[in-house]
Amino acid sequence: MIVHLNGRYLADRDASVSPFDRGFLFGDGVYEVVRAFDGELIEAGRHWRRLERSLREVRIAGEKFAAEQMSELALRLLEENGLKRGHAIVYLEITRGSATPRTHHFPPAGTAPTVFAYATPFAPFDGQRINGVPIILAPDERWGRCDIKSVNLLPNAMAKQAAVDAGAWETVFVRGGVVTEGTSSNLFAVIGGVLRTHPATHAILGGVTRDVVLETARASGLTVDETAFTVAELETAEEAFLTSTTNDVMPVVRVDATVIGSGEPGEIARRLGTLTAHS
Ligand code: PDD
């Protein structure tokens, strides 16, 4: 695989990052995951805008990472890896760079951020989408700035493993009785005929797919309300679905032991999934 590291395109086995990199020592970095189909990046503008915002919020010098450069980098990775046909994913991470000795405070001004990116083929989760998936709930023990797409993902990794252990597709977090989002996805529910999802506050990552689904839902005449819902409301929902770059619109048919709606993918999930499909 040809990867990008700090301006160079090279084989992954030849790419190395300093052990003093702050991404490694502190999780001091941000990232994006972008889909591509037939060599075209999907919603690249929204992803790069969110990357710029994440960089700004954590005060990593972002001016070098303009949208056009990020797109150029991602497209070159698709090209270098023979991914100009079919589905692919580009992962891009920027950390605060490497400096010794290790200090909690930021390294000296002028320390270059580390930029790493790779592209891989991707197989959309079509089978899961047809049948819908089970999810489990867990306490949201993450920090208070989940709106920043930071590589500090230990609570997300722990919670996702709990889903795998339980034979579920995703773990969805609950904070103070309110459903926030999944470990790497947003959650929607249709409650009393209204499409609801947690508002884009500091408590969730404002998903690109979430935004596209909200716009598509409004344009198709659905009643939409960005108001958080409780676990009790979710359990009585007519339908529910996850959204993310990799999931697209993924129907949820069970939450822990509770069957959602008819136990089959709901009509609204199906419709929004079709309207926002990439191929
Ligand atoms: N995850 N919430 C969290 C915590 C996420 O990590 C993600 C994305 C989303 C959905 O965002 P989007 O629609 O922009 O993909 C919501 C990516 C895909 C990942 O970590 O792999």
The CATH code of the domain that includes 13 is 3.30.470.10
Whole-number Å distance, alpha carbon 108 to ligand 1 midpoint, is 31
- 105 pLDDT band, cuts 50/70/90, is very high
Handedness of CA 225, 45, 33, 144 (dihedral sign): negative
Residue located nearest, by CA, to atom 8 of ligand 1: 184
Any residues with Cβ below 6 Å from ligand 1, and which?
A: 33, 181, 184-186, 205, 207-210, 243-246
- The answer to whether residue 149 is catalytic is yes
Work out how many domains the chain is built from and give that number: 2
**What's residue 183's pLDDT?**
98
Please tell me the predicted confidence (pLDDT) of residue 208.
Answer: 98
Which one of 121, 141, 165 terminates a domain? 121
Which residue, by CA, sits nearest to atom 16 of ligand 1?
Answer: 185
Determine the distance separating the centroid of ligand 1 and the alpha carbon of 248, expressed in angstroms.
10
pLDDT of residue 21: 98
Asked if 24 and 41 sit in the same domain, the reply is yes
Examine the domain organization and report whether 108 and 134 are in the same domain.
Answer: no
Rounded to 5 degrees, φ, ψ at 225 are: -140, 115
CB atoms within 10 A of CB 236: 14
**CA 100 / ligand 1 centre spacing (Å):** 32
Mean pLDDT of all residues in 243-267: 98
**Among residues of the chain, what percentage have pLDDT more than 70?**
99
Same-domain check for residues 263 and 131: yes
267 plus 130 within the same structural domain: yes
Owning domain of residue 227:
126-275
Q: Are residues 114 and 157 located together in one domain of the fold?
A: no
Q: Could you report the per-residue pLDDT of 51-81, keeping only the tens digit for each?
A: 999 999 999 986 678 899 999 999 999 999 9
